[in-house]
Amino acid sequence: MTKDKTAILIVDDSPDTREMIRRHLSLHYPVVLTAGNVDDAIEVLQNQEFQLVITDLKMPGASGLELVQYVRENFHNTGLMMVTGYATIEGAVEAMKQGVGEYLPKPFTGEELLSLVDKEIKKVKKRQSLESETAASGKYGLIGCSEPLQEIFRVIEKASRTSATVLITGESGTGKELVTRAIHYQSKRSSAPFVPINCTAIPQELLESELFGYVKGAFTGAETSRAGFFQTADGGTIFLDEIAEMSLMMQSKLLRVIQEKEVYMVGSRKPAAVNVRIISATNKNLRNQVEAGLFREDLYYRLNVINIELPPLRKRGNDILLLINHFLRKHSLDMGTKLPALPENTLNLLQNYPWPGNVRELDNLIQRLVVMHNGESIKPADLPEYMKKTSNMPQNSLQRTLAEMENDYIKKVLEQTGNNKSEAARILGIDRKTLRSKLD
């Protein structure tokens, strides 16, 4: 939306005030219309889109407050401003609660008027551009348009066109499962089953029969034959979550399945062909696990034909804003509450927080805030204590790694303790040995 298209509606019962505002604004904005009462205003609003409505509070007939409610319910992207006499400031405060962005007490100068209008129009534009970005980037339910995420979208597309194995790595809560589903549902396999398995949720000794099934009499209690997840997923995709936790014995059996494209049900010597795509995920560094002898190197290469490394949230720049907006809407809608407002200073705190729990942590926090603040404004004080402590961090902390932040923090604590390592270790909640190794 350029300034050229900005349309403003002025609603006031006094022709003098109406005219005075109109004269000032029409010097700067191309479309400035007026209405003398709420009914007329609603009629005008139904025929044209406005970026801003400026209304008086007390008018004969319906009041400005009713107009505010009407605009909020029907045009959530339109900004609202209220002009009011001293006697009605209390009403104006009520109006702010209802979603009026700015209010201007009478009498006012043309300059005051223009600066407030400008401020409100800017807010409206920012909201609109955030919204259109969110809509444009909601591919596969994955919100974000930062460079690292664009790259992820490209790999998802590439991976969807093949049946190659995919290994997805990334910190907890970065969207590994979401990406896996995206690949499956984009691929030719989308009409066949998607079967997710968490390798830690099933005891290792049961994993084999769960994955490959068993035949009658394979073990005590096996009264009938039962198919495993691989058979269920035939033609589709199996998702092996937390693959790093799989026992070495199961790893070798899985390797065989990948190599031979067939499974042996427990208790059977007859192989059965399966056509299953394997996507696995872990928040551990699987390379290190290989080096430590905990993960088979040959399996690692077999699983890792396509690699997707999901960046932590703190490295996704403005995606944080898009995600906040997305979760605010989603949870308000889900819970039937009003959309709360997030003022600039609250947003700053959220942007500067390092989000160790990534998107899941952000999702959970926003959900809690939506529940507790039903349509009200969320102030910095409403955020959890540990988030406020990051307020004096530099603005660009989002671009920094956790290691860099840790480094800075350790340095600060050392300075504060006059380089007393025992004291510093105590404050940091680590032992001296750990501190020493970090200093190295």
Q: Contact residues for ligand ATP (CB under 6 A)?
A: 142-144, 170, 172-178, 283, 323, 359-360, 363
Residue 340, contacted partner among Mg ion, ligand ATP, none, CB below 5-8 A by kind: none
Q: What are the percentages of helix, strand and coil residues in the chain, rounded to 5?
A: 55, 15, 30
Residue 37, contacted partner among ligand ATP, Mg ion, none, CB below 5-8 A by kind: none
Q: Closest CB to ligand ATP among 81 and 168? A: 168
**Which residues sit at the interface with Mg ion, rule CB under 5 A?**
177
Residue 142, contacted partner among ligand ATP, Mg ion, none, CB below 5-8 A by kind: ligand ATP
Report the distance separating Cα 15 and Cα 60, nearest Å: 13
Residue nearest to ligand ATP (CB): 175
Q: Could you say which DSSP state residue 341 is in?
A: B
C-alpha count within 13 angstroms, C-beta hemisphere, residue 434: 9
Q: What are phi and psi of 219, to 5 degrees?
A: -155, 165
Residue 74, contacted partner among ligand ATP, Mg ion, none, CB below 5-8 A by kind: none
Q: Closest CB to Mg ion among 165 and 351? A: 165
Q: Closest CB to ligand ATP among 102 and 363? A: 363
CA angle 224, 230, 236 (to 5 degrees): 135
The minimum distance between CB 291 and Mg ion, in angstroms, equals 24
Going by C-alpha positions, the residue among 347, 293, 340 that lies closest to residue 322 is: 347
Q: Angle, to 10 degrees, between the axis of helix 248-260 and the axis of helix 204-212?
A: 20
Report the distance separating Cα 228 and Cα 265, nearest Å: 8
* H helix or E strand, kind and range, residue 3: none
Residue 173, contacted partner among ligand ATP, Mg ion, none, CB below 5-8 A by kind: ligand ATP
CA angle 366, 367, 370 (to 5 degrees): 85
* H helix or E strand, kind and range, residue 336: none
The minimum distance between CB 142 and Mg ion, in angstroms, equals 14
Residue 383, contacted partner among ligand ATP, Mg ion, none, CB below 5-8 A by kind: none
The minimum distance between CB 152 and ligand ATP, in angstroms, equals 9
Q: Closest CB to ligand ATP among 87 and 136? A: 136
Report the distance separating Cα 64 and Cα 428, nearest Å: 55
The minimum distance between CB 279 and ligand ATP, in angstroms, equals 11
Report the distance separating Cα 144 and Cα 359, nearest Å: 11
The minimum distance between CB 362 and ligand ATP, in angstroms, equals 8
The minimum distance between CB 257 and ligand ATP, in angstroms, equals 23
Q: Closest CB to ligand ATP among 120 and 241? A: 241
The minimum distance between CB 280 and ligand ATP, in angstroms, equals 12
The partner residues of 311 in beta bridges, in order of sequence, read none
